[in-house]
Amino acid sequence: MTQEQNVKRGVSIGRELAEEADALAREMGVTRSRLYSMALRDFMRRRENAGLLERLNEAYREPDPGDEALIEGAKRYSRRLLDEEER
């Protein structure tokens, strides 16, 4: 397993956010750099997952023509069950 090399980056953030981040890093017992790395990785994973979800939603947005008969059959079956319950 190779160890990841660190790269320094200068970023500017608002004072209030920086103070909150410092407090959180102390509470978690991690360095400020570690906290920022964790937050950035989490953000990147969430963004990737959102993109994946969007692609899945797009793929399933319109039913496949072969599925229409199945959907209609399920609707008829559900209506019959509801009708039987009402009797």
Digit-coded pLDDT (tens) for 48-84? 988 888 888 887 777 677 777 877 888 888 888 888 7
- Of 4 and 16, more confident: 16
Q: SS3 for 27?
A: helix
Query: SS3 for 4?
Result: coil
Angle at 11 between CA 1 and CA 41, to 5 degrees: 40
Question: Measured between alpha carbons, how far is 20 from 25 in angstroms, rounded to an integer?
Answer: 9
pLDDT at 71: 79
Tell me the pLDDT tens digit for each residue of 23-51: 999 999 999 999 999 999 999 999 998 88
User: What confidence tier does 2 reach under pLDDT thresholds 50, 70, 90?
Assistant: low
